[in-house]
Amino acid sequence: MKLQIGRFLFPQLSRPYQAHVHHQANTNRPSSGPRIMIFNQQGRTEAVDFLTPLQKATSRNSLPSFDHAVFCTNVTYAKTGYKRDFVNRGIDPKEIETLSVQKRFADKWSEIDPGSKVVVIPTIEEALDYARGVGEEEGTQAVAYVTGSLHLVGGALGILEKADAL
């Protein structure tokens, strides 16, 4: 499987920090497999308000915007925690530990896109593993949109590129 990583912007949204991570076979055609969104925006009280325009920008006729909506923290790795550059000291550690922000996102997404399977996952690494597992389980290529926080996108790119420098 070939891995391509590039920029993906939703012009309808006001914040240009979305990244698109696209797994595909050895072709240049997009996958017709499940669409998975991985989202977080820790530390901004209005972040839940980003979800409605995101859902509208990605909506598909009678299908959910995303087959799976994954909400995770900005913690990079399950075993070792944050990459040094991604620690945000302005965030209450209890909020991260209890996944309270991610649960609010999940509740909101369930409300605006009830056809999506919504999950809350503790780390970026586990969110990417979940996305890979969906594709494997369905026997197809999965398309994962990683968006919301620069720390989330940077952590995901670091994991996908196996780069400790990010």
Domains of the chain: 2-160 (3.90.190)
Mean pLDDT, the chain, integer:
78
| Choice among 11-25, 38-52, 73-87, 129-143 with the minimum mean pLDDT | 11-25
Q: Which of 137, 150, 8, 17 is nearest to 83 (CA)?
A: 150
Its pTM stands at 0.79
**How many Å apart are CA 120 and CA 114, to the nearest integer?**
15
Q: Is the pLDDT of residue 71 over 90?
A: yes
86 Cβ contact list (under 8 Å, min separation 6) = 74, 76, 151, 154, 155
What's the whole-number mean pLDDT along residues 118-124? 97
Phi, psi of 146 (to 5 degrees): -105, 120
Q: How confident is the model at residue 83 (pLDDT cuts 50, 70, 90)?
A: low
